[in-house]
Structure 1
Amino acid sequence: MPAVTPLGLSFDHVSHGYDIRGEVLPVLDDVSLTIAPGEFVALLGPSGCGKSTLLRLAAGLELPLRGRTEASGQPITGPGPDRILVFQEATLFPWRTVRGNVEAGPEARGELPGKAPRVDEALRLVGLENFGEAFPHQLSGGMAQRAAIARALVNDPRLLLLDEPLGKLDSLTRLNLQKDLIRLWQDRGFTALLVTHDVEEALLLADRVILFSPRPARIIEEVQVARPHPRRRDDPQLIALRSHLLAALGVLEDV
């Protein structure tokens, strides 16, 4: 697969909420954020503060109540194949093989006949080239998430939105997939926006970490992670940043 032209992303004074029994529950409060094309950004904050909602707005699955969302200067008015969201759950179709799941997007757009080589390449990129005919129930959790990532990659996304995609995996699988995500980002050139609750994961992967307040989410801090890849967990600069972010989140170091 050739590298893509990455999308920039901007949120301009975005506020959002949900109608709960006739009352609006505020989730995002006047969020302004610009993400450069090709940047890898991680979002950190308390559970339920609105981070995943921000991803849904970027994907075009929802429109903000106030403010403006844009992808490379164009208003986001709905979903598009250049902006793909990968969820915490792999959400594979259980009646389709791994290959069938990866083919689902191109098939829905009537592009499948010309995408067969891309399907093969997507499976190879995530290490599932020998599991194309397997069904989801035959996969481990890590393999299922790899299949979900392959399903995203076959669309040649210019912006990959990652909603805690590694959150339910065991530690070893998570470490390996972290390395794979960085490799794919470097090789493919897409812009990446990651929601995670893992401070160390954010620092190992992202160029920049955005810290949110409790709901309704407001940006309270931005941290640059100016370290080359691959990064080491024992890097003194990362350890210092980890302590800083944990303190900002109200977590004591000895917990």
Structure 2
Amino acid sequence: MKALAPGTVIFHRHRGYGVITAVNLLTGWISARFGTEARALDLNLSSDEVQFGDGEPILFRRAPPDRMPHARLMQMVRQLHRAGYQRLYLYSWPKPSGLHWRWHLFTGQREWLQRSWREGWYGSGADYNFNPVMGWGDSPGATTDELVHTLAKFDPQGLAQALGRDEDHARWFEEVCEALLPGYMYSLDMDPATAGQDAPALPIVPVRAGMPAYSGPELAWPPGWKGIWRKQHLLPAPKRNIITGMPEIPG
């Protein structure tokens, strides 16, 4: 399916040609403006017989689009690794609601929990549902090559920090991509219930609606995560006043 995003030209059998003004990839509802109408019309892609402007039908239920960008990001990172940018890492984790997954690209040191943040290198599936772009000047539905070139143009200094070798991580990432793409993504969410285990299974999530749960072999976590589950991650105990013995409350 072609990209569905604000600005896409569509055709409706009763109203003719129009332009999408808002889209929700999670529910399949869009708002579109037709001709000289002052108000946008709400339509359902599953039942309102909407087509792309060139006549191609929009089969939202039969061929649903990706509701999250993580698989496309994995393809891009995989290509950059093959080009020698092995110090590029993709962190994925769910929002507290569990409905959407965040993503974060970072470079340089492989510090998963203390990674550095660069503007434009992170996002959320909640935003992607309404405007399916990564946020660095890319277009909806951009190919892997186009994503690479727009990222390099957006932040060449940041991408330059990814140039270098990290063979362990690049080998792990290649194996994960081979097993999961194009329909699944990995999450690096650490379930508190797994504390004390040496290496619980890597969480796998489908990127499109209607896909079955992942049933392939268990995948390893990325290098640098081994042993992180062996102890509970608790906040440090507050300092106590040496005179009263009571915990000190920060000002």
Same fold (TM over 0.5): no
Question: Which one has the largest radius of gyration?
Answer: 2
Structure having the larger proportion of residues in strand: 1
The TM-score by the shorter chain falls in which range? under 0.3
Structure having the larger proportion of residues in helix: 1
Normalising by structure 2, what TM-score? 0.25
